[in-house]
């Protein structure tokens, strides 16, 4: 029973985990388990202590909000960094493919021009052979 620690010290009250110490009234009461935060008529947040005597609920809420917000921001930044890395890797991987395609097109153009020159040279040689009757 937590009420037996009323008007004693905070440390004595909080030895029992189910107890809540109200510093303003010096009362030790059962922690309202069904609610996350104690009701205002039970004890003000700045006077409520649970678990340890040196942290009140108001400071605990602020600290947890800051820590939670920081973690969310860090997760967001990490997600953005990962997405940016994936995009840059995708662009880098697309780059050589485009270069390879361009090189293949140039090789094909050179091959076609070479074939045209061969055909042209062959036709010239054939004309010369006909002219001089060597064919």
The string of pLDDT tens digits covering residues 29-75 is 988 777 777 788 888 888 899 888 898 888 888 999 999 999 999 99
Q: Is 10 a domain residue?
A: yes
In this prediction, residue 99 has a pLDDT band, given cuts at 50, 70 and 90, of confident
List own/partner pairs for 34-38 with CB under 8 A and 24 or more apart.
Answer: 37/61
In this predicted structure, the answer to whether residue 9 has a pLDDT above a threshold of 70 is yes
Residue 106: is its pLDDT beyond 60? yes
In a domain, 133, yes or no: no
**Domain that residue 32 falls in:** 2-56
Distances (CA, A) of 58 to 6, 11, 65, 124: 22, 19, 11, 99
Count: domains in the chain = 1
Q: Rounded to two decimals, what is the model's pTM?
A: 0.52
Task: Please check whether residue 49 lies inside any domain of the structure.
Answer: yes
Any domain includes 26: yes
What is the band of 13 on the pLDDT scale with cuts at 50, 70, 90? very high
First to last CA, the chain: 123
Give residue 10's region: left, alpha or beta (phi > 0; psi -120 to 50).
Answer: alpha
pLDDT at 107: 95
């Amino acid at each position: 029973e937590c009420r037996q620690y009323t008007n004693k010290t905070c440390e004595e009250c909080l030895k029992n985990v189910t107890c809540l110490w109200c510093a303003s009234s010096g009362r030790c009461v059962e922690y309202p388990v069904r609610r996350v935060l104690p009701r205002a008529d039970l004890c003000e947040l700045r006077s409520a202590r649970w678990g340890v005597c040196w942290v009140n609920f108001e400071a605990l809420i602020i600290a947890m909000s800051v820590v939670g917000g920081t973690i969310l921001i860090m997760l967001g930044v990490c997600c953005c960094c990962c997405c940016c890395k994936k995009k840059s890797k995708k662009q880098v991987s697309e780059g050589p493919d485009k270069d390879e395609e361009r090189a293949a097109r140039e090789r094909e153009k050179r091959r076609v021009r070479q074939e045209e020159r061969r055909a042209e040279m062959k036709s010239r040689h054939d004309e010369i052979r006909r002219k001089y009757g060597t064919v």
